[in-house]
């Protein structure tokens, strides 16, 4: 039985990953998490001297500050937690007997938008403080000397969704539920999504298989526009789609007036992520793009 340390175990990905591993029954999970949403508390947790991984086989590092559009966090908050916190964890890992280190980064470490499938060969160009902090953590991991018997895998997931997640997908769900005509009918962007079930499958595969270390982009197979996503939500809820073809200029003006410009941009921009490398490494993902989205949507509806 493998002993696995998961940092950030109480977060959305962490709780789902623990449930996923419990269903398998042959992995011993040891969680390390904060009991508070305070940034200072999280920084202190990741810098604590009490982190004991002497009997751990695998470290999965999830803990960090997620991308936040409200402006609540400063650039230094992201750096202290996502960059310095990761350095602390990986340094402890290298001194231990653990053999595998899995770091959950973000596609934001590579780019904020992409009109073609972004793959691992692209030169990273993060825009946000969040993306930059994740990239600096990646670069630190890659700069270290990795001796025989130890390996690292860096995952850059696209937008993760699943039951219990309250992100932009939930916002769009509530919009459809309200019956208000959809204003983005003229937006045929292309976006990648990533089911939490597929992410857990990938992490499990990295732990169990002999997969070459390095960076891997993670996303479901295929892409959807915001309009197609709206239509999928409507179909899942049994509602007839009603959309308006407002221009981007008009949308931007309205979004600015209600203070939702960043959120609207995120919903309507292109963000295509290639999963070719990770699928070649782990095999076909168990959950299809639309199947995973429908499961998440039904969870919002309590079904």
Q: For residue 5, what are the contacts with CB-CB under 8 A and spacing of at least 6?
A: 30, 31, 32, 53, 56, 58, 59, 60, 98
Identify the CA nearest to 131 among candidates 101, 157, 99, 93. 157
236 CB-side CA count, 13 A: 25
Domain count, the chain: 1
pLDDT tens across 161-215, in order?
Answer: 999 887 778 888 988 999 888 887 777 899 999 999 999 999 999 999 999 999 9
Question: In the prediction, which pLDDT does 70 show?
Answer: 63
Q: How far does CA 220 lie from the centroid of its chain?
A: 12
Give me the CATH number covering residue 9: 3.40.50.720
Q: Quick check: is 28 in a domain?
A: yes
Question: In the prediction, which pLDDT does 185 show?
Answer: 76
Q: Quick check: is 302 in a domain?
A: no
The 3-state secondary structure of 3-52 reads EEEEECCCCHHHHHHHHHHHHHCCEEEEEECCCCCCHHHHHHHHHCCCCC
Largest CA distance in the chain: 59
pLDDT tens across 117-146, in order?
Answer: 999 999 999 999 999 999 999 999 999 999
Question: In the prediction, which pLDDT does 272 show?
Answer: 98
What does the pLDDT average to over 51-59?
82
Q: Quick check: is 236 in a domain?
A: no
Question: In the prediction, which pLDDT does 33 show?
Answer: 59
Question: In the prediction, which pLDDT does 134 show?
Answer: 98
More confident residue, 286 or 65: 286
Q: Quick check: is 292 in a domain?
A: no
What does the pLDDT average to over 88-96?
93
Q: For residue 155, what are the contacts with CB-CB under 8 A and spacing of at least 6?
A: 102, 103, 104, 105, 199, 202, 203, 206, 216, 217, 218, 278
Identify the CA nearest to 294 among candidates 229, 207, 215. 229
Q: Is the pTM of this model over 0.75?
A: yes
Confidence band, pLDDT 50/70/90 cuts, at residue 50: low
What does the pLDDT average to over 22-51?
58
What does the pLDDT average to over 55-73?
84
Question: In the prediction, which pLDDT does 38 show?
Answer: 42
- Domain holding 114, by residue range, is 2-164+193-220+274-286
Q: Quick check: is 75 in a domain?
A: yes
**CA gap 173, 175 in Å, rounded:** 5
Confidence band, pLDDT 50/70/90 cuts, at residue 44: very low
């Amino acid at each position: 039985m493998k002993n696995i340390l998961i940092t950030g175990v109480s977060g959305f990905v962490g709780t789902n990953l623990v449930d996923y591993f419990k269903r398998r029954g042959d992995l011993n999970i040891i969680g390390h998490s904060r009991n508070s949403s305070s940034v200072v508390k999280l920084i202190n947790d990741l810098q604590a001297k009490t982190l004991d991984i002497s009997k751990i086989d695998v470290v999965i590092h999830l803990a960090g500050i997620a991308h936040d559009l409200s402006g609540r966090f400063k650039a230094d908050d992201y750096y202290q937690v996502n960059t310095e916190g990761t350095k602390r964890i990986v340094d402890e890992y290298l001194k231990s007997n653990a053999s595998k280190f899995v770091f959950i980064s973000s596609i934001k470490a590579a780019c904020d938008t992409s009109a073609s499938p972004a793959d691992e060969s692209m030169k990273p160009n993060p825009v946000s403080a969040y993306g930059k902090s994740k990239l600096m953590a990646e670069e630190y991991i890659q700069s270290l000397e990795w001796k025989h018997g130890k390996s690292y895998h860096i995952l850059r997931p696209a937008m993760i969704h699943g039951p219990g997640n309250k992100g932009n997908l939930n916002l769009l769900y509530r919009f459809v539920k309200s019956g208000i005509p959809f204003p983005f009918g003229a937006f045929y962007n292309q976006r990648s999504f990533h089911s939490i079930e597929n992410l857990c499958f990938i992490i499990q595969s990295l732990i169990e298989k002999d997969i070459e270390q390095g960076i891997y982009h993670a996303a479901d197979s295929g892409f959807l526009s915001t309009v197609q996503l709206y239509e999928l939500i409507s179909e899942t809820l049994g509602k007839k789609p009603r959309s308006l073809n407002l221009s981007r200029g008009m949308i931007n003006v309205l979004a600015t007036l209600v203070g939702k410009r960043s959120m609207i941009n995120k919903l309507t921009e292109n963000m295509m992520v290639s999963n070719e490398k990770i699928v070649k490494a782990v095999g076909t993902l168990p959950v299809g793009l639309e199947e995973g989205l429908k499961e998440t949507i039904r969870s919002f509806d309590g079904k």
